[in-house]
Structure 1
């Protein structure tokens, strides 16, 4: 008889244990930051012994690299949902919903992303991958602005895109600091309103006269 099921079961158990350890690490990084976090704290959070943790990860850096890689993969998927050719045909309020919502939802669901990526003394590999991801997001915003301003000088598109991204980052900080529920939903509405008020006169499409009936500018949603 074949002995394949046993290795497969062991592999599945190992994957569940790794997921458990990574979630515990995410909680500890959020609570204490990367620098102050320790493998012992992560093991306690995961309700396992330090020896069990070391069976899967040799040190805190290895845990951070694995967690960071997975989070950045998910963030890239959020980018893919946000910046699509179909979204460019939407009126500006609906475009903001389509672009901003996946990015907000990712960050609200994964607070460890900012805690890890922006922490001090994070492993160099994570910092490099994050810088590349950040540059990719900025490029996508610039391409979106260029789509609406095809006759504008490149430096103007860069300036508008950089300002748009700065508004988004500032609003995201407030969103993550707000309590979940109605308060967070209200802050999301305010961020989209700020982006709308800035971009509408700059893009000048003439299609944006107000939020559509299904826009989150009129119907707050909680991530």
Structure 2
């Protein structure tokens, strides 16, 4: 066996291992969404992945380890998402555009990864995920504050912080409704969510909301 062949074998094993981990995480996401974290089991995840429990235990010692790895990967992607979605906006940007762009980016992420909501907002979040989620939420609040500060340059810092918390609370409540529906009905709930946020923010922003057309968000989301 040549040196190149000896080096290639570990790389192939590593690639197979990464594919198996991805397969198990995808299966876990499906099971967590269907049953919730507490009711999920490693046997159910292995069955969903089409592997034996023994194969699963080669990569993860328990379901908490699976949830932590899945949550960590999703939170990394979420950080990239809100980094793009919540950048400060040009003061000339219409309020509808600023709100709509942020909502669309977050909705797209959560619809592609419904398990993120199930893990992060369920009543039974594993301890380490809860800690990471708290850190993520704190960072997210800071980014929303930065976005709002560009829309409300004269507002006191305490008001901006309070507004950021209210906006995230509205989004979280609306997201649960969005994820519970499909197709045209989901799109309708997205429009309603944007409307609620816009009607909340418009009086705070003042004349920046002038010139919008009614009904609000009459176009496609």
Q: TM-score, normalised by structure 2?
A: 0.90
Contact kept? 2:89, 2:98, Cα under 8 Å: no
How much has 1:207 moved relative to structure 2?
5.1
What is the alpha-carbon distance in structure 1 between the residues aligned to residue 74 and residue 153 of structure 2? 34
How much has 1:40 moved relative to structure 2?
0.3
2:197 matches 1:201:
no
How much has 1:87 moved relative to structure 2?
5.8
Q: Decide which of 156, 160, 173 is 2:176's aligned counterpart.
A: 173
2:166 matches 1:163:
yes
Contiguous gaps of at least 5 residues in structure 2: none
> Which moves more between the two structures, 111-120 or 142-151?
142-151
CA offset digits 1:49-92 (Å, max 9, x no partner): 00110111111111111001001111111101201235655211
CA offset digits 1:165-213 (Å, max 9, x no partner): 22212111111111x211101110111111111211211143542269x
Contact kept? 1:83, 1:140, Cα under 8 Å: yes
What is the alpha-carbon distance in structure 1 between the residues aligned to residue 10 and residue 213 of structure 2? 55
**Residues paired across the two proteins, number:** 217
- Summarize the Cα distance change of 1:162–1:20 in structure 2 as closer, same or farther, 3 Å threshold: same
CA offset digits 1:124-160 (Å, max 9, x no partner): 1110000111111112222222223232222222222
Q: TM-score, normalised by structure 1?
A: 0.90
Q: Decide which of 95, 104, 108 is 1:101's aligned counterpart.
A: 104
**Residue aligning to 1:64:** 67
What is the alpha-carbon distance in structure 1 between the residues aligned to residue 212 and residue 155 of structure 2? 25
**Residue aligning to 2:184:** 182
Contact kept? 2:27, 2:45, Cα under 8 Å: yes
- Summarize the Cα distance change of 1:168–1:118 in structure 2 as closer, same or farther, 3 Å threshold: closer
What is the alpha-carbon distance in structure 2 between the residues aligned to residue 211 and residue 173 of structure 1? 27
**Residue aligning to 1:85:** 88
Q: Secondary structure at the match of 1:36?
A: coil
Q: In angstroms, what is the RMSD of aligned CA positions?
A: 2.0
What is the alpha-carbon distance in structure 2 between the residues aligned to residue 43 and residue 87 of structure 1? 49
What is the alpha-carbon distance in structure 1 between the residues aligned to residue 51 and residue 107 of structure 2? 32
- Summarize the Cα distance change of 1:196–1:118 in structure 2 as closer, same or farther, 3 Å threshold: closer
**Residue aligning to 1:210:** 212
What is the alpha-carbon distance in structure 2 between the residues aligned to residue 187 and residue 130 of structure 1? 25
